[in-house]
Amino acid sequence: MAEEVQRVLDAVDGVAEADSPTARAKQLTHLLDAVPERIRQARQQAVREMHESGMTYREIAAELDISFGRVRQILEGVNAPRKPRKKPADDK
């Protein structure tokens, strides 16, 4: 795991160790709201730089182990829809 990623995870662990449960819940809620969008933006910029450097969508897809279509979505700023979880069947 990259050192930068580990530092972020360590920081999240630090927040999770806050004194009061209320403080932890508030801080973690803020993180959950803010972090995904910032990560998406940073990833989009990185993929854009890869493309601007001359890499094709297929080359980027192979390098990142994602599909050609996902590369296109990232560059267009489209969030992939989340697949709904299947509800367990009722045992009746």
Average pLDDT, the chain: 86
Contact present, 66 and 50 (Cβ < 8 Å)? no
Task: Report which residue type is found at 44.
Answer: Q
Domain boundaries, the chain: 15-76
Residue 77 CA to residue 74 CA, distance in Å, equals 5
**CB within 8 A of 80, min separation 6: which ones?**
70, 73
Q: Which of 29-33, 59-63, 88-92 is least confident?
A: 88-92
pLDDT tens for residues 42-85?
999 999 999 999 999 999 999 999 999 999 999 999 886 656 65
Between 20 and 51, the more confident residue is 51
CA dihedral sign, ordered 83, 10, 77, 66: negative
pLDDT, position 88:
63
For residue 87, pLDDT over 70 is answered with no
**CA 84 to chain CA mean position, Å:** 18
